[in-house]
Amino acid sequence: MPPRSAGRFPVAALLIAAAACNLDTSPADVFAGALVTGRIESEAGFGVPGTLVRLGFAPDSACGPLFNETAGTLLTDSVGGYSAIIGARGAPQTACVRLIATPPAASGLAVDTIGAMHVAFTENPEQSTVQIDLVLPPK
């Protein structure tokens, strides 16, 4: 019996297992997304902890004021930082991402929004990272 190739057996086993389970890998079953990170700051350069961050996206072809809400509600950490993976089931694409930041009422800062265009949504969101920082104006 010839020696087994170390690289071929695991792939063959995976294909057999996928066929046995009747797994479908159509684009509708693939998650494509991006890791969005950033910091919310005051004009003085200080992070704003406890800021409510909403992230959403739409395909580049449909950018505008409306977007799919994807990350729910995130709160910034003690230095104003945040991170979230956003995306949806479907083929990889490019999208526009919108962030709305609502600071704590006692901060004296106003709600603000910012967007980023042409963000790559891939099957490995951690490898497709975009940083979106925002400086909040005073009320």
pLDDT of residue 36: 95
Residue 13 lies in a domain: no
pLDDT of residue 65: 66
pLDDT along the chain (139 residues), means of 10: 42 39 60 95 98 91 69 88 92 91 97 94 93 97
Residue 6 lies in a domain: no
Residue 17 lies in a domain: no
Dist CA 130 CA 38 (whole Å) = 8
Residue 89 lies in a domain: yes
Which of 67, 65, 77, 69 lies closest to 37, judged by CA? 77
Instruction: Print the domain residue range for 100.
Output: 27-136
Give residue for tokens 């979106």: 132
**Tokens found for residue 1:** 């019996």
pLDDT of residue 67: 64
pTM (2 decimals)?
A: 0.76
pLDDT of residue 6: 43
Q: How many domains does the chain have?
A: 1
Dist CA 47 CA 74 (whole Å) = 15
pLDDT of residue 106: 96
Residue 56 lies in a domain: yes
Residue 119 lies in a domain: yes
Residue 7 lies in a domain: no
Dist CA 77 CA 40 (whole Å) = 10
Please give the single-letter amino acid code of residue 137. Answer: P
CATH number, domain with residue 72: 2.60.40.10
Dist CA 50 CA 74 (whole Å) = 9
- DSSP letters, 29-78, are G-EEEEEEEEEEEETTS-B-TT-EEEEEEEEGGG-SS--EE-S--EE--T
DSSP state of 25: -
Residue 21 lies in a domain: no
